[in-house]
Amino acid sequence: MKGFAAVIAAIGALVAPAAAAAAPAPPQGTQSDAAFAASYAAKSVVNLSPTTQRVSCYAPEVPYLTALTAADGYPGGGETPCPGATTGEQTSGFATQDVSNQPVLVKDHSESDIRVDPNNPLHLIGQSKSFVSAEGYNHLLGFYESWDGGATWPVQGHVPGYEGWTDNTDPVGAFDPWGNFYSLLLPYMFVYSKSGVHVYNNGSKQANPAQPPEAISVAVHPARPAGQQTAADWITTHNDHPDFVFTVPNAVTNTPDKQWIVIDTNPLSPHYGRVYAMFSQFVLNPSRILVSYADARPDGTHTDWSAPQTLPTIPGHPFDTYLLPHVAPDGTIYTTVTNNPVSKDFLNNSIYLIWSKDGGVSWQGPTLVAQSVLTPTYKNTTFTEGIVNSFGLSATSVNGHWPLYVTYENEDADGFSRVYVAGSLDGGSTWSAPIRVNDGPDDVEALQPRVEVAPSGTVAVVFYDRRLACPSETASGVQLDPLAPTGTNFCINTAIQFYASDLTPLGHNIRLSEFTWDPQLNAPKRLCVCGSATFIGDYFGLDFGGGYAYTTSVSTYDYGQNPSNYQQQIVARVPLP
């Protein structure tokens, strides 16, 4: 999240939501804290911390020298000179930069995405933000790659090609049919005021006048045999310039955000290999949602991007975002869109469905999926809200339709955030009543869900869960937290719930985190070092391969190589039921 969308979220966090109906019990019943804690071992979950396995560095376009201290909850605060990268990535001398700053160490890794190669279930690529300064919210996108189902992650670094912008954000990616990996990026520029506020300028006043102030762009990691990939092996240009999908000339009142990508990998589809890039464009208060597409080629290149096309929305309510496209086996592309109006203080969300049957040329909808979803304000901690909902599609048809699923977080009448899921088995014409996903006590929160569907048709919802008390061991870093957390509804675990296609629960929530972790440590300051708002990200990785569900999520726990309790990525693997 960045720019105008970040301001929207901050405004929403200051306004009390309206009351909602009481939360129903989850259909699988509640689960004791002890049973949830034990489910990690009982369900044969495996955890690994890939981002602690390599040293990554890069030279930022705009350094930020302000540092917070261990007393502030930042035991590794400030920028640190690069001690020597072990990734093999380029660390300076970037083509898009107009400066020559010194490389500094990547420390924190918030926000999460993971994808499984459709041609090789052992080939995984994860992405996250790679922070050199949590205090300055100064980051590029990083990636990490495995060829053995997540056991090792030998190829890591930052996604190259867009180092000339202050930040590069929002980890989303997809494999094409030939094993090339597309990363859809959001590079943008700002400078820092004396107090640390992010200042968005235009023209000669911006950080790097040689580049557009904000863009939606692409980098492609081409398919290579195992052992032949490197951290620098990316295609970042198209037609002799950065691979831009969309650029804007004005960073102050005209900003893209919330991009998402999907690629048609269905051999029987008439649009096999088509790459769809979707995003929002915020112009002061209103917004519009857009799609651009290109056709991938086996060598990792692609055709020119189509002219961005405005997608259909509800007339008279121009504040739409959160496009989450999926492609059905017949080539139909579906996405939800979330209407989040300024008139409702950015808190009251309505979710709609739109779709295209001709490769993105024309679109149908919107039809209503859910309404009056209230954006939560989380209790006890300072990390703030991001994307409220997620969308999934099954490639296993039911009665001639591709099942569709939506999950979202909602602030219920008692003020707690909970996770819900609903489904449609008739192509989106009707939707089931939402059911509660998290099966812990009512006085703890669940948040930031993502839903996806395994090739078998099994539905999975992954989310952050706050039911377990903060740990006391030194490796947790809790003793460094100035908020001195005790009790529940503060620290975090990752959890998953499986369902049959009709949303019959398959057991209880499963704990995917080996260790409970503290979200306040080294927490990125999303808006300004001078403010209290922090962030753990609003993207959550979930995909499937070889009979397993794979997730990526954040942890500050020291798994053995994280003594400063930075935000790191944890990959979890759990067998599908």
DSSP category for residue 7: H
Strand-pairing partners, residue 43, are: none
* Cis upstream peptide for 366 (omega within 30°): yes
Return the percent helix, strand and coil in the chain, to nearest 5.
5, 40, 55
Cα 156 to Cα 154: distance, rounded to the nearest angstrom: 6
pLDDT tier for residue 18 given thresholds of 50, 70 and 90: very low
- Residue 465's Cβ-side half-sphere holds a number of Cα atoms within 13 Å equal to 27
Contacts of 315 (CB under 8 A, 6+ apart): none
Average pLDDT, the chain: 94
Alpha carbon 394 to chain centroid, angstroms = 21
Q: What are 560-576's pLDDT values in tens digits?
A: 999 999 999 999 999 99
- What secondary structure does DSSP assign to 333-400, as a single string? EEEEEEE--GGGTTTEEEEEEEEESSTTSS-EEEEEEEEEEEPP--SSS-B-----EEEEE-SS-BTT
Residue type, 24: P
Cβ atoms 213, 205 nearer than 8 A = no
Cα 243 to Cα 22: distance, rounded to the nearest angstrom: 48
Where is 167: in which H helix or E strand?
strand 167-175
Q: Tell me the mean pLDDT in the region 107-127.
A: 97
Q: Tell me the mean pLDDT in the region 339-357.
A: 84
Q: What dihedral do alpha carbons 184, 280, 197, 68 form, nearest 10°?
A: -50
- Please name the residue that has the structure tokens 């539905």: 459
Residue 122 sits in which domain range? Answer: 3-575
Q: What pLDDT is attached to residue 12?
A: 36
Q: What pLDDT is attached to residue 343?
A: 53
Tally of structural domains, the chain: 1
pLDDT tier for residue 315 given thresholds of 50, 70 and 90: confident
pLDDT tier for residue 1 given thresholds of 50, 70 and 90: low
pLDDT tier for residue 552 given thresholds of 50, 70 and 90: very high
Q: What pLDDT is attached to residue 386?
A: 85
Does 285 have pLDDT greater than 80? no
Q: What is the CATH number of the domain that holds 215?
A: 2.120.10.10
Say how many C-beta atoms besides its own lie within 10 A of residue 237's C-beta. Answer: 14
Q: What pLDDT is attached to residue 16?
A: 30
Does 234 have pLDDT greater than 80? yes
pLDDT tier for residue 21 given thresholds of 50, 70 and 90: very low
Taking the alpha carbons at both ends of the chain, their separation in whole angstroms is 34
Secondary structure (3-state) at 138:
strand
Percent of the chain with pLDDT over 70: 95
Q: What pLDDT is attached to residue 326?
A: 98
* Cis upstream peptide for 63 (omega within 30°): no
Here the tokens at position 555 are: 């942890």
Phi and psi dihedrals of 552, rounded to 5? -125, 135
Cβ atoms 84, 91 nearer than 8 A = no
Cβ atoms 213, 249 nearer than 8 A = yes
Contacts of 379 (CB under 8 A, 6+ apart): 415, 416, 445, 489
Does 149 have pLDDT greater than 80? yes
pLDDT tier for residue 300 given thresholds of 50, 70 and 90: very high
Q: What pLDDT is attached to residue 347?
A: 85
Cβ atoms 476, 488 nearer than 8 A = no
pLDDT tier for residue 14 given thresholds of 50, 70 and 90: very low
Cα 277 to Cα 262: distance, rounded to the nearest angstrom: 7
pLDDT tier for residue 344 given thresholds of 50, 70 and 90: low
Cα 558 to Cα 567: distance, rounded to the nearest angstrom: 10
Q: What pLDDT is attached to residue 415?
A: 95
Does 488 have pLDDT greater than 50? yes
Q: What pLDDT is attached to residue 9?
A: 40
Cα 92 to Cα 103: distance, rounded to the nearest angstrom: 6
Cβ atoms 443, 477 nearer than 8 A = no
Where is 12: in which H helix or E strand?
helix 3-13
Q: What pLDDT is attached to residue 118?
A: 95
Q: What pLDDT is attached to residue 317?
A: 73
Cα 69 to Cα 54: distance, rounded to the nearest angstrom: 25
Q: What are 500-539's pLDDT values in tens digits?
A: 999 999 999 999 999 999 999 999 999 999 999 999 998 9
Please give the C-alpha separations between residue 556 and each of 79, 110, 446, 570, in angstroms, as whole numbers.
18, 10, 18, 10
Does 406 have pLDDT greater than 90? yes
Q: Tell me the mean pLDDT in the region 544-551.
A: 98
Does 7 have pLDDT greater than 50? no
